[in-house]
Homo-oligomer: A and B are copies of this chain.
Amino acid sequence: MGNIAKDINSTFPNERVKALINIKYTANWLDTIGNELLKPFKISVQQYNILRILRGAEEAITVSSIRKRMIQKSPNATRLMDKLCDKELIERTRCENDRRIVYVKISEQGLKLLAKINIEEFNNHMNNITEDEAETLNKILDKIR
């Protein structure tokens, strides 16, 4: 995207219309920054998030529970995990008791990759705002929906 800092103020008739564009612009910006940090590791922000969820789980968990924690719809969760499977960073096994369910587990290779990534650095790009400001932001975003 372009440079909103330069362009956004002169362009919008009111704060709400600006907000509409600003939310989307910021979401893309955060994504771009995150993906740049993860580029050396050849995974995306969302793929990184899934790996962290799986490491935290400490055991195989269902596709559905990952989807819920990521607040994503099923097709997207499946697609992201397809990519992690191709890279052999996770393993899928079908549940024997209920054959609709697929369990997912982080692989040794996945754990090794995570160990290389500095979480502090990854989260740095939200340090421009305080915890209070983040709370205000969350309240307003929640109110929009």
Contact = CB atoms under 8 A, between A and B. Distances in A.
A96 interface: no
B141 A16 contact: no
A133 B126 contact: no
B8 A71 contact: yes
B71 A4 contact: yes
Interface string A105-145: 00000000000000000010111110111111110111111
A14 B137 CA distance: 13
Interface string A48-79: 00000000000000000001111111001000
Given A31-B24, A71-B8, A17 B144 contact: no
Interface string A13-33: 011111111111111111100
